[in-house]
Structure formats: structure tokens, C-alpha cells
Structure 1
């Protein structure tokens, strides 16, 4: 039984640890799932469904109920001698129930539905585009967290080296090899490192809290951020969602053109009206009567002063504007890609020189270390060069993170 409990605890502990690993791709997926803007997909879906139902209702019979009571100053009289015809009442009443049924409208309803469908797709893609643009923020935050972790680890290494060196110096002071208070410089440097630890932890907490808000998932300071090895394919085709958005906008314009072309189409409606009133259809019968009318109605706008053609021309201009925006977007994107490519090459060159600088700094520090042990130099001189080595190593770490960030940004700009 104890073995079973132990195994369960081990499995749970392992699962907990496994859950503490976060990757850059995880962040991309989480923001696409949890960011509040994603709710607009469902809202737009509901809106499109309602719009479709509203337009489709035009195919159904339209039923209207009307009632009217009037009093008029004069009525029609028939001036025929000896005619026994009662004059109409000046107060008249009428109630009608009308039914209108669309028979034919030249495909106008279907064209309206296509426009709404195209608008729906455009709005959905706009949401996707806005969410995609968050990837740049995620890149910056994620790699900034990695930088704080690497800096923390390097600082921890520096602290251990200084603590070891402090013991050597204190031993040298004890045996009279080094001057009194030579250890004070090292102790001050250790206190500075303690302050740097606090600053790094505070910065990391702020970055993680911001990232957590963005991806919609709680992330603790204990979470392990996996270091990605970002690969880039230079000079490949751009596949940004904005290009899909531009294409959908053009399709929306095409559907609007089709709708405009059908606005002047022949329209045929059937109608039926039943009524009760005084007078009825027989104006000579001065009493309440029931009546009905049935028929068909044809409507055709034969001449509209070229309004339809002008609307078509306006829509065509909108299409040209979209083409122009697409061209500008591609141009600006290629410029950004070129800048990122230059940034990658520049930082890669920095990394090569950083490694050479570190090797030289280590040689100098090794010489100073021997001189400090023999009392040839003071601990201040040693700390100065030790700090120079730390700064060089920190610069290398920063450049390694920066080149990965530049590659991630390159892929984001390209749409990969």
C-alpha cells in the first residue's frame, strides 16, 4: 500500500513539474484561445445568423393589419333628379388585412445574402489579424523573461566566485599576506549583487504578470521557460493574415457589385387584401361591408439617371484602393524583413566578438588572480577586472537572446 501511495505521489509531483514548462509556441496558442478579442468570433457568428434570417424573411409573406376612422368635410354626391341614393356618411371606417408575397426580384435576395456572407468573413479575418499582431508582444515578453533568467544564473555564478575569492582574501589578511580591509571591497560587491538579484526578480515578476494577462493563463515565477532555437527561412513568400484580409475585402466588393447590378431588376409581387368598412368597395352602398382584392404588382425602374452605374464606379474605386493597400503592405513588410535580417547578421557578428573579448578578459583575470594572492595588487583592481568579465559575459548572453528574438520577429513579420 505504501508503495502505491509513493508511486501516486511521484506521478502527481512529476505532472506538476511537467506543467511548469512553458514554450513560445504554447504562448502563441494560448493567446489565440484565451485573449478576450477571440469572443468576437462567436458574436460575429450570431450577428451573421440574424442578418441572414432578416434577409431571408423577405421571401416570406408580409402580413399587415390596418385600421382607420376618418371624418371629412365633404363627400361625393350624385346630382341625378329623383334618384333614391343616400349620400355617403362624412364619418367613414375601414379595417384591412393585407398579405404581400414576393414572387420574383431578379436574385436580389441571394445577392444580399452573399454580401452579408462576405462581410462576415472579412470581420472574422480582421479579428484573426488583430490577434496575430499580438505575437510581437509575446516575443518581446517571452525573450525578456529568458534574459532575466540567464542574467540571474550568471549573477549567481559571479556571487559564488566572489564568495570563494572572499575566503581566500580573508585567509590572506589573517596570514599577513594582504592588507587589512582588502575583503571590504569584495563584501561591498556581494551586497551590490544582492541588490541586483532583487531588481532582476522584480523585473521578471512584472514581465510574467504581463505575459499571463496576455495569454489568459496564470504563470508563476517558478515556471520554466524553454529556450527556443528559432530557425528562419530568408527571402521566402510572405504569408501574413493581412493578405487574406485584403483578398476577402476584394471578394466583399465583388459581392457588392453583384448586388448593385440587381437593384434595378424587375420585381413581381402578389397581394391580397381583405377588409371591413363603411363604405366598402361599393361607394354607393352606405353601410358596413366586407370585401377583398387580389392581384399582382410589377415594378421595374427603367431609368435611374445612371445612379446604378455611378455606384458601380464607386465600388470599383474601392477595389483599386484595396489593391493599393495590399501593395503598400507588401512593400512595408519586405522593408521590415530586410531590417530584421540585417539585425540578425549584426548581432551574430557581435556574438563572435563577444566570445573573443571574454577569452581575453579571462586571461587578464587569471593573471590578476595570481597577483592578488601575492599581494601585488589590491582587491579593488581585481574587482574592476572581475566586473569587466561579468559584463562581457552578460553582453554575450544578451546578444544570444536578442538574436533569437530577432529571428522570432522575422518569422512573425513574414507570417511563419
Structure 2
């Protein structure tokens, strides 16, 4: 009866008697992610992507160039005519030019568009790499959250053991007072109570360490009476939705866009231009004086040297894609292998839990019989302690296996990404 009252108090009364903090595993995931220092990179990546796209877009704006040159040449153009009373001045061999040019691209094969798209995909790749790193936080939170749960369950069970031993001690003290039992029988139970107290002290210290580490991750103090809600055990899903798969897809898009940009760069370019300058000679090649000039029109250019490396660069991109495909296949193979092992672990723990409950039923009956026998003086206190510890071990095994099942389910969800 006392055990029922104790469990009722811990499970039903305590949560409502005090305004306790409640934490779920999902809330811990969210808070840990928002508190993790790496999260600051998300804003930096977004800004970097925006700047890169903006810079790529400026390739479509009018381009301004300023240039100049001073040359000396071995010969100049001369007019082979000689007329009386008319002298045609010979051009100077030292010539100078200072000019400025504005050009506007009419067609460049789509280079600017592909460059913008490449910067966009690059930014998304970096963002997804960050998501992959942040996803690994879930494993750490699982360890701390379920470790804290297990320790609390073990403390509760240890308190129940104390009650059983204290009950036995009360009975044996009555026998000692009546002269039907030796004082040493009581000492055996008192020593066992002290051992149980030691165990509780150790568990409380371990629980405090777990809570402190969990609090650091979620940036929130986790008090001793905070309630950690056990997640519902769900049917494991075999579908894989890991963030790494999204990263592989984005990296494949990066290769596709890089191929399109490579093709765009080997196409011809057409642009409008206006150039104005000052030099000697200007546009009039027969006048050997400094003068201003301007010229405008449509310009066509085609860098044929791009064809020299085009095929090799395509092959490099193909090799990158093949390597990426191999990485993805390896990741999926290892993930499916791990999921298979975790499915086996979940099934094993479910079967163990069913057996644990049967063992507890039997051990409880044996302990109750031992309690009556202790009161009647037909067994020693050592025999009673042995039966109490046997039931305690059975209950500890159940607590351990139930927590291990929660951990195994959480690991399965982590591995599958669900």
C-alpha cells in the first residue's frame, strides 16, 4: 500500500502541487539549436549569398573603362606625294592616347544569368551544410535528456527499496524487542539502508551533472524538480529524410549550373560601346597634333581559346558528379544498415520489457512472502534483503530497458531523419 501511495505521489501529486517546469525532447532540440554558437553563421551565410548575387547581377550593367597608352614605333604612315606649296606633315613616332569607354552588353550567352544562379546554389549549399552540422546536436541532447530520465527513475526505485527495507527493519525490531531475533539482524537491514542511501547520493550527483550539461545546451537551468516528459514510442519509419540528402541534391545542382555557365562562357559576345579620348594622333591620321575624338558602335567578340579547355573542364565536372553519387550511395547504404541494426535493438528491448514485467510479478510475490516469513522469524534478515534486492534488480532492469527503448526509438528517428 505504501508503495502505491509513493508512486501516486510522484506521478500525480508532485507535478500539480508545484508549478514545475516541463520540458519535452522536441523543445530541447529547438532551444539547443537556437543557442548553439554555430547558428550565428546562418545570418552570415545569408548576407554573403545576397552580396554575391548582387555582384553577379552587376555584370549586366553598363561597364566603364578608362585606359591610356604611350608608344614609340619604328615607322609611321606617310603620304608618298610631293606637291609644290603643300607640305604634308609626317606623324611623330612617339604617340599618346588617353580614353574612356562605356559599353553595354547586348548578348553574352547567358553568363550573368548562370553566374547569379550559381551564387544562389552556392549559398544554399553552405546553408545546408550548416543544417547538417546542427542536426548532429540531436544526438547530444538525446544522451543528456534520456540519461536524466533514467537516473530519476533509478532514484525513485531506490526510494521504494528503502521503504521495503525500512518496513522489514520495523518488523525485525519488534522481534528483537520480544527476544525472538538477534540485534545483528537489525544491523544487517540498517547497513542495507545506508548502502541504498549511498546509491541515491551517487545517482543524485550524476543527475545534477546531466541536468547541468543539458542546461548549458538549451541555455536554461534545469532544476531538480523539472519534469522531463517521456516521448511517445512511435513505429519506426524506414523512409530516410536526413538533411545530408538535401545537401547532396544541392551539390548536384551546383554541378549542373557550373556546366551551364561553362557552356555560356564559350559563346560569342555582342555589346554597344562609346569611346572618347584625347591623344596624338586622334582619328585624323594626317594631323600630327593632340586632339579629342569619340567613336561608338556595336562590337562583336568571341574568345575561341575557351574551346581549348572546355572538354576537360566538362570531364572534371562529370568526375565531381560521379564522386558525389558514390558518396550519396555510401551514405544511404550505411544509413539503411544502421536502421536495420536499430530495428533489431527495438524489437529485442520490447521482448525484454515483456519478460521484465513477468519477472517483477514473480519477484514481488516472493518478496511479500519473505516479508511475512521475516515477521514470523522463519527467515533471516539477510534472506529478506536478498529477496528485496532481487525485486529491486528486476525493477531496475525494467526501468533500464524502458529507457533504452526510448533511446533506441530516438536514435532510429535521428538516423532516418523523421
The TM-score by the shorter chain falls in which range?
A: 0.7 to 0.9
In structure 2, the CA distance between the partners of 1:15 and 1:30, relative to structure 1 (3 Å rule), is farther
Distance (whole Å) between structure 1 residues aligned to residue 221 and residue 124 of structure 2:
32
Match of 1:307 among 294, 306, 309: 309
Match of 2:246 among 244, 247, 254: 244
Distance (whole Å) between structure 2 residues aligned to residue 99 and residue 15 of structure 1:
79
Q: Give per-residue Cα distances to partners, 1:314-337, cap 9 Å, x unaligned.
A: 222322222222222222111111
Gaps of 5+ in 1: 1-12
Query: Who is 2:417 aligned against?
Result: 415
Distance (whole Å) between structure 2 residues aligned to residue 84 and residue 272 of structure 1:
31
Distance (whole Å) between structure 1 residues aligned to residue 204 and residue 221 of structure 2:
17
Query: Who is 1:97 aligned against?
Result: 100
Query: Who is 1:399 aligned against?
Result: 401
Distance (whole Å) between structure 2 residues aligned to residue 352 and residue 204 of structure 1:
27
Gaps of 5+ in 2: 1-14
In structure 2, the CA distance between the partners of 1:131 and 1:88, relative to structure 1 (3 Å rule), is same
Moved more, 147-156 or 37-46: 37-46
Q: Give per-residue Cα distances to partners, 1:373-394, cap 9 Å, x unaligned.
A: 3444432332233222212211
Moved more, 277-286 or 103-112: 277-286
Tell me, yes or no, if the aligned pair for 1:177 and 1:374 is still in contact at 8 Å. no
Query: Who is 1:186 aligned against?
Result: 189
SS at match of 1:301: coil
SS at match of 1:262: helix
Query: Who is 2:135 aligned against?
Result: 132
Match of 2:347 among 335, 345, 348: 345
Distance (whole Å) between structure 2 residues aligned to residue 218 and residue 304 of structure 1:
61
SS at match of 1:222: coil
Aligned residue-pair number: 400
In structure 2, the CA distance between the partners of 1:295 and 1:332, relative to structure 1 (3 Å rule), is same
Tell me, yes or no, if the aligned pair for 2:265 and 2:306 is still in contact at 8 Å. no
Distance (whole Å) between structure 1 residues aligned to residue 93 and residue 330 of structure 2:
74
Task: Please state how far the C-alpha of 1:361 moved relative to its aligned partner.
Answer: 2.4
In structure 2, the CA distance between the partners of 1:326 and 1:384, relative to structure 1 (3 Å rule), is same
Query: Who is 2:54 aligned against?
Result: 53
In structure 2, the CA distance between the partners of 1:335 and 1:84, relative to structure 1 (3 Å rule), is closer
Query: Who is 2:170 aligned against?
Result: 167
Tell me, yes or no, if the aligned pair for 2:240 and 2:417 is still in contact at 8 Å. yes
Distance (whole Å) between structure 2 residues aligned to residue 255 and residue 160 of structure 1:
71
TM-score in terms of structure 2 length:
0.85
Q: Give per-residue Cα distances to partners, 1:293-349, cap 9 Å, x unaligned.
A: 334332213464552122222222322222222222222111111111110111122
Query: Who is 2:3 aligned against?
Result: none
In structure 2, the CA distance between the partners of 1:14 and 1:191, relative to structure 1 (3 Å rule), is closer
Match of 2:335 among 333, 336, 344: 333
Q: Give per-residue Cα distances to partners, 1:230-271, cap 9 Å, x unaligned.
A: 11145x432222222222222222111211111110112333
Task: Please state how far the C-alpha of 1:49 moved relative to its aligned partner.
Answer: 0.7
TM-score in terms of structure 1 length:
0.85
Q: 2:148 matched to 1:145?
A: yes
Aligned pairs for 1:250-265 (under 5 A) are 250-265=252-267
Tell me, yes or no, if the aligned pair for 2:74 and 2:93 is still in contact at 8 Å. no
Distance (whole Å) between structure 1 residues aligned to residue 26 and residue 290 of structure 2:
79
Cα RMSD (Å) of the superposition? 3.1
Distance (whole Å) between structure 1 residues aligned to residue 103 and residue 285 of structure 2:
25
In structure 2, the CA distance between the partners of 1:27 and 1:110, relative to structure 1 (3 Å rule), is same
Task: Please state how far the C-alpha of 1:142 moved relative to its aligned partner.
Answer: 1.5
Task: Please state how far the C-alpha of 1:353 moved relative to its aligned partner.
Answer: 2.1
Tell me, yes or no, if the aligned pair for 2:24 and 2:229 is still in contact at 8 Å. yes
Tell me, yes or no, if the aligned pair for 1:88 and 1:284 is still in contact at 8 Å. no
Moved more, 209-218 or 43-52: 209-218
SS at match of 2:119: helix
